[in-house]
Chain A
């Protein structure tokens, strides 16, 4: 549990009995107030952002109401806008990217933290961190020039010939589409998962591992059943980071997703995501309703993130293990 229950010795027998000013002379109280202000500013900024989005999308909200969520049309000329294809695309690409990035990332983090010697692990991590610095527009270009042709010529046809009976892999192989976007997003999200998970794994106290090994577990069992659960919240945190990246990525996605507002069960189909359409159309959007509809999409993404985060936290609370050492959501 949090260690905030430990009070400084000089807090006084009954904290409320001392006046605020005299408590202020105590350095700890100043520290508490100042750090609180910083933490509160985060909430303030987020609230301000939502407020700004809310106010700037008023026209669009009044015109479309709740229908915005289920309308499939996106017509800037007829001034008719709906969010459904973009919500769908955002969710699908985020899911695909996490399905790829999480196992790969955690696997690599385990390798770097547990198995690799320090001399190998540190430099490798250094370079993996650099992946996070590659500008998203370059990921997009590499996506267009490398990933898309590979998908179109080899991967997608192979998927169709083996698993083509599934509605998941129907339709022509364009190269661009949900699957390609998910793959590019996975590449962009992996550094965060590896970097943070590795650090967290390395900070698990050694006695946990040793206890498991002493009880006769194999190396893998001690890692998977003891160390990783101990680092659960940290690893989940890294997955949150990756998810956030996947949901909000603009440039790279728009170059490989096909930019067509369709809803299709097939991963080979081209699609669209909220962040991509905002990035594509915001700078050229003229007309208040159009602009505000785009901003309303931003608000919708915010709502999506809110719900997904909430679900994930719920999952964590429900599966919280006893004795994992860090049991907070």
Chain B
């Protein structure tokens, strides 16, 4: 007993009971989707000037909650904060909060149909029908019509969706709500929804795992995930009528199409964007930065970081399968940075 307590005192002493402060440490929390590129950016930034930015991918909702509670210095989210959340932030902290888009991502439809290796074409009606449970077999006329030349079996479709709340679900359901009034009424958009049909997999990994192991399955995953793991995914018909496969240029095009009508606060949905080659299920991801900082060192470090990330940092994006911000958006953001005091 005595030896045990001596041991623990020793450990404590070694750990340093005094609340030691190291170099400047900034904490952020939020979306999992941009986490790989954020970790690369923070690492490079740290190497360049020693500032430690610690980002944890706890989820967009948690990120919004933490930054509102004040337990982290900034947040990150795949879906913009809604008016209620912004109001709640203002009530709790006395100032407003700003959104800064950083990169672009997309959700793609993936599937596992025995005997089908081709890239399938999906129309908005087909996607909504499948996920609503109305289209239940692979050889449904709606699917066959857009995929002439592919033999589709008469098997039951198994729908796979995300079980955990996620920005990817937000993008997917946002798109479906725009293209299907039935979906909008029955289900709606959000990070978690009441899915009419299907099994839930945890994370992109869970969904991909389930799809791989379940014949006749269909689901949606992040583009970076599909690209990094070389998963077959289909094309989606966009607002201009072309079947577009998600890749870095088609996703960027969705953003530039939307940048002309972008609101001042950058809170915009770019799903089903106009543009001949725009990929319709794309989205920004945002950093959530408070309008006013008590700690000027943190404020300056973060401002420098954002400035760097949306300009030089964009060069890292494509290697990690993220699409770059269009120039028009970057210019607007640089101007908006001056609002952070």
User: Residues on A close to B: CB < 8 A?
Assistant: 73-78, 140, 144-145, 148-149, 152, 174-176, 254-255, 258-260, 270, 272, 276, 279-287
On whether A152 and B213 interact (CB within 8 A), knowing A259-B199, A286-B85, the answer reads yes
Compute how far the CA of A74 lies from the CA of B194 in the bound complex, rounded to whole angstroms. 6
> Do A280 and B165 touch (CB < 8 A)?
yes
Q: Does B133 contact A (CB under 8 A)?
A: no
Inter-chain CA distance A176–B213, complex, in Å, is: 10
Instruction: Note all chain A residues with C-beta closer than 8 A to B202.
Output: 140, 254-255, 259, 280
Q: How far is the CA of A125 from the CA of B321 in the complex (A)?
A: 48
Give 7 nearest A-B pairs by CB, closest first: A284-B165, A259-B200, A259-B163, A283-B59, A77-B188, A284-B61, A75-B194
> Using Cβ atoms and an 8 Å threshold, which residues of chain A touch B206?
144, 255
Instruction: Give CA–CA (A259, B209) in the complex, Å.
Output: 14
Interface pairs (14), CB distance under 8 Å: A74-B194, A76-B193, A76-B194, A77-B187, A77-B194, A140-B202, A152-B214, A175-B214, A254-B163, A255-B202, A258-B199, A260-B195, A280-B163, A283-B61
Whether the pair B199, A270 counts as a contact (CB closer than 8 A) is: yes
Distance of B59 from chain A, by nearest CB (Å):
3
Question: B163 to A286, Cβ gap below 8 A?
Answer: no
* A144 closest partner in B (C-beta): B209
Contact check, B165 vs A73: say whether CB atoms are below 8 A apart: no
Q: State the Cβ distance, B92 to closest chain A Cβ, in Å.
A: 13
Which chain A residues border B199 with CB–CB below 8 Å?
A: 174, 176, 258-260, 270
Question: In the complex, which residues of chain A have a beta carbon less than 8 angstroms from the beta carbon of B85?
Answer: 286
How far, in whole Å, are A75 and B165 apart by their CA atoms in the complex? 12
CA distance A281 to B192 in the complex (A): 7
A282 contact set on B, CB distance < 8 A: 62
Could you say which residues of chain B place their CB within 8 Å of the CB of A270?
A: 199-200
Beyond A284-B60, A284-B164, 19 additional pairs, beta carbon < 8 A: A76-B191, A76-B192, A144-B205, A175-B213, A255-B202, A258-B200, A259-B199, A259-B201, A259-B202, A276-B163, A280-B165, A281-B165, A284-B61, A284-B62, A284-B166, A286-B64, A286-B65, A286-B82, A286-B85
Expressed in whole angstroms, the minimum distance between the Cβ of A255 and any Cβ of chain B is 5
With a CB–CB cut-off of 8 A, which chain B residues contact A276?
163
**CB nearest to B169 among chain A residues:** A284
Return chain A residues, CB-CB under 8 Å to B210: 176
B206 closest partner in A (C-beta): A255
Residue on A nearest B65 in the bound complex, by CB: A286
CB distance from A245 to the nearest CB of B (A): 19
Inter-chain CA distance A140–B201, complex, in Å, is: 12
In the assembled complex, the Cα of A258 lies from the Cα of B166 at a distance in Å of 17
Contacts of A279 in B (CB 8 A): 164
Chain B 296-309 interface 0/1 with A at a Cβ cutoff of 8 Å (1 = within): 00000000000000
Separation of A145 and B187 alpha carbons in the complex (Å) = 31
Q: Cβ of B189 < 8 Å from any Cβ of A? A: yes
B62 pairs with A283, CB closer than 8 A? yes
Bound CA span A287–B202, Å: 22
- Distance in angstroms from B187 CB to nearest chain A CB is 7
Residues in B with CB closer than 8 Å to A75 are: 193-194
Interface presence of B234 (CB below 8 A): no
Q: How far is the CA of A76 from the CA of B173 in the complex (A)?
A: 13
Bound Cα distance A108, B309 (Å): 58
Cα of A258 to Cα of B197 in the assembled complex, Å: 12
B190, A76: Cβ atoms closer than 8 Å: yes
B312 in the interface (beta carbon within 8 A): no
Q: Are B213 and A284 in contact (CB under 8 A)?
A: no
Most buried by B among A148, A270, A284, A286: A284
Given contacts A176-B199, A259-B202, contact A285 B214 (CB under 8 A): no
A254 — which chain B residues lie within 8 A by C-beta?
Answer: 163-164, 202
B283 CB, min distance to chain A CBs, angstroms: 15
Knowing A74-B194, A77-B193 are in contact, say whether A174-B214 is a contact too (CB < 8 A).
yes
CB of B154 to closest CB in A, whole Å: 16
Complex Cα–Cα for A276 and B59 (A): 16
Nearest B residue to A76, CB-CB: B192
Residues of B close to A283: CB separation below 8 A: 58-59, 61-62, 164-165
* Cβ–Cβ contact A145 & B59, under 8 A: no
The distance from the CB of B316 to the nearest CB of chain A, in whole angstroms, is 26
Q: What B residues does A281 contact at CB under 8 A?
A: 164-165, 192
B110 shortest CB reach to chain A, Å:
17
Chain A residues near B165: list those with CB within 8 A. 280-281, 283-285
* Given A148-B213, A280-B163, CB of A77 within 8 Å of CB of B189: yes
Chain B 57-114 interface residues, beta-carbon cutoff 8 Å to A: 58-62, 64-65, 82, 84-85
CB-based nearest B residue for A270: B199
Bound CA span A59–B85, Å: 17
Which residues of B (174-222) have their CB < 8 Å from a CB of A?
A: 187-195, 198-202, 205-206, 209-210, 213-214
The residue in chain B whose Cβ has the minimal distance to the Cβ of A290 is B192
